[in-house]
Amino acid sequence: MAAANPAIDHDAHDDHDHKPEGFLHRWLFTTNHKDIGTLYLVFSLLMFFIGGSMAMVIRAELFKPGMQLVQPEFFNEMTTMHALIMIFGAVMPAFVGLGNWMIPLMIGAPDMALPRMNNWSFWILPFAFFLLISEIFMPGGGPQGGWTMYPPLSLEGGTNVAFMIFAVHLMGISSIMGAINIIATILNMRAPGMDLLKMPVFVWSWLITAFLLIAVMPVLAGAVTMLLTDKFFGTSFFNAAGGGDPVMFQHIFWFFGHPEVYIMILPAFGIVSEIIPTFSRKPIFGYQAMVYAIASIAFLSFIVWAHHMFSVGMPLGGELYFMYATMLIAIPTGVKVFNWVSTMWGGSMTFETPMLFAIAFVILFTIGGFSGVMCAIVPADFQYQDTYFVVAHFHYVLVTGAIFAIMASTYYWLPKWCGNMYSEKWGKIHFWSSVISVNVLFFPQHFLGLAGMPRRIPDYNVAFADFNMISSIGGFWFGASQLIFVGVVIHAVYFSKNRATTQVWEGAHGLEWTVPSPAPHHTFTVPPVIRDDVLAHGDVTH
């Protein structure tokens, strides 16, 4: 909660709104989208550090062959928790926080559509993660079956099974309510003139992401509920002896799981689609194509799930279908990449930190996408599956994809949130340190995977030693680099003397740049009048 921002408090004086007095009162009871957005973002940062620390344990144990630090059980626990915390605790809440902060500002709404529920969506999360993380201290430790929770293994856990499942339920409730709120806000709260096809791409990306969330989080809830009853109430969903099938869980899980990975990337696409035009000083290339591409990706995400299960022994027809369907995703994604490049082409670019992160995003995400397409090719995936090649794939799309986009957006919007500019110098240091180390961290993992190193193992043959050591060094370096990020943010919020202007960035367009920096506690209490030149989204004719 450190980001409680004195600058905003100052503003309250000339901002005749009834901001609640008192720290607890303000943050526990708040219904203000900006406060809730801040809560989400701070929570997410905290979780990123906790999940990251677990990754550091993983990397430390894998630093060299031989078991040095932890027992294998604990290693598996770290892997599982790392993934759950990063996905549900860091990336998703960060996006919800950004959505909370920016969507009302971008569409000219006074707040989110359902402000009290908005508060609840957030305040469920700390409790969910309290439940999840406290498992580490329970007898038998936390879950050790991987974030994918495949039975029968995941049911072998002790105390943790029930708590993990309930924690997932809580996260689901939180996400669903958050998503409902976002959809209602976007569909119902737009200022007059903000037509759907004039909304910023970020808003579009969130509209579609919210739909994905509502469609798949309940499926995950159903899947883990069946785990629960299989464990405690004698059902046989995932037990062949009773006529069920362990593979059934995988189908249901990935029906959730694949859309889930796009839930973690579509808002990132939206963010990058805001930042690149701003710093290229040129409107986004092919606005409508961008929107339709997001929609196509979302649609396709529902029909490709079994590409995570190529080696479970599906019939030939199934393998072929899921291969083709998965490969198709490269096309709308390619459209997005090409449009970003075209936006830059012919622009007048400057390279502030947000832009650097956005450019790194485009390049590194594309590399992750390439390895994704390679994974989609079934015969090759027989070799890649469950190796570090896959680990490299998804960290490229998640870390240099989702996380980089979140960092880019933080630099981009921070001046609007707190009214001060961050230190450009330290921002750039953070960027270069991160972008180099993250490649040292994850690129060698491709080699490891191709050479045959399975994932989720605490120890390995000596042939894998060199690249693992390099990867670990990259890991520690990347982790340490994130301390710079925290420094930059704290400095900007509390110490920076460099006041931000209303517009903040020279090339910025859109409603969010018409409110003062920092954005007052309440904005657009009267719907704004929208002029085409501030709108600048969609195919506006100039």
Partner 1 sequence: MAQTQGAYYVPHGSHWPIIGSFGLLGTVGGAGLWLNEADIGKPIMAVGIALLLFMMFGWFGTVIRESIGGKYNKQVDTSFRMGMIWFIFSEVMFFAAFFGALFYARTYSVPWLGGAGHGALTNHYLWPAFSAAWPTNGPAGVGGAFSTMSPWGIPLLNTLLLLSSGVTITIAHHALRAGNRKQLLVFLALTVVLGVIFLGFQAHEYAEAYGHLNLTLGSGVYGSTFFMLTGFHGMHVTLGAIMLTVIWFRCAKGHFTKDNHFGFEAVAWYWHFVDVVWLGLFLFVYVL
Partner 2 sequence: NPQPWQLNMAPGATSISQRIHGVHMLAFWVCVAIGIVVFGAMIVAMVRFRKSKGAVAAKWTHNTTMEVIWTVVPIVILVVMAWPATKLLVDMAEAKGSDMTIKITGYQWKWRYEYVDYFKKASSVNFVSSLDADSNKARQLGSGIDPHSIKDGDFPSYLLNVDKPLVLPVGVKVRFVITADDVIHAWWVPSLGWKQDAIPGIINDNWTQIDQPGIYRGQCAELCGKDHGFMPIVVKAVPKAEFEQWLAGQEAAEAAEKAGATAQATPAPASQG
Which residues are annotated as catalytic? 82, 111, 147, 174-175, 258, 260, 262, 273, 307-308, 333, 336, 455
498 makes contact, choosing from partner 1, partner 2, Cu ion, none, with CB < 5 to 8 Å by partner type, with none
Closest distance between ligand HEA and the C-beta of residue 322, in Å? 8
Angle ∠(451,455,456) on CA atoms, nearest 5? 150
Told to check if 63 binds ligand HEA by CB under 6 A, we report: no
102 makes contact, choosing from partner 2, partner 1, Cu ion, none, with CB < 5 to 8 Å by partner type, with none
CA dihedral 38, 40, 46, 52 (to 10 degrees): -130
Binding mask 235-264 for Cu ion (x = CB under 5 A): -----------------------x------
CB-based burial label for 235 (10 Å; 0-12, 13-18, 19+): middle
Cα separation of 533 and 542, whole Å? 8
Provide the token pair at 328. 């198709």
Told to check if 146 binds ligand HEA by CB under 6 A, we report: yes
The piece of 86-94, 153-161, 171-179, 210-218 that touches ligand HEA (CB under 6 A) is 86-94
- Residue 107 β-bridge partners: none
Closest C-alpha among 220, 334, 202, 186 to residue 278:
202
Closer Cβ to ligand HEA, 373 or 534, answer by number: 373
Binding mask 431-470 for ligand HEA (x = CB under 6 A): ----------x-------------xx--------------
49 makes contact, choosing from partner 2, Cu ion, ligand HEA, none, with CB < 5 to 8 Å by partner type, with ligand HEA
The piece of 7-15, 29-37, 105-113, 281-289 that touches partner 2 (CB under 8 A) is 281-289
Closest distance between ligand HEA and the C-beta of residue 208, in Å? 14
Cα separation of 310 and 316, whole Å? 10
Task: Confirm if 469 and 441 have CB atoms less than 8 A apart.
Answer: no
Binding mask 58-87 for partner 2 (x = CB under 8 A): -------xxxxxxxxx--x-----------
Query: What Cα–Cα distance (Å) separates residue 408 from each residue in 272, 393, 435?
Result: 8, 21, 12
Cα separation of 127 and 124, whole Å? 5
**Position among 206, 431, 460, 485 found at the interface with partner 2 (CB under 8 A):** 460
Told to check if 289 binds partner 2 by CB under 8 A, we report: yes
Question: What phi, psi does 381 have (nearest 5°)?
Answer: -65, -25
Query: What Cα–Cα distance (Å) separates residue 210 from each residue in 92, 96, 170, 180, 471?
Result: 11, 10, 17, 7, 35
Cα separation of 383 and 374, whole Å? 11
Provide the token pair at 264. 């973690």
Provide the token pair at 397. 């799309």
The piece of 16-24, 463-471, 478-486, 525-533 that touches partner 2 (CB under 8 A) is 463-471
**Amino acid identity, residue 357?**
F
Where do contacts with ligand HEA occur on this chain (CB under 6 A)? 48-49, 52-53, 55-56, 58-59, 79-80, 82-83, 86-87, 91, 146-148, 261, 264-265, 307-308, 326, 329-330, 333-334, 337, 366, 369-370, 372-373, 375-376, 381, 384-385, 390-391, 393-395, 397-399, 401-403, 441, 455-456, 475-476, 478-480, 482-483
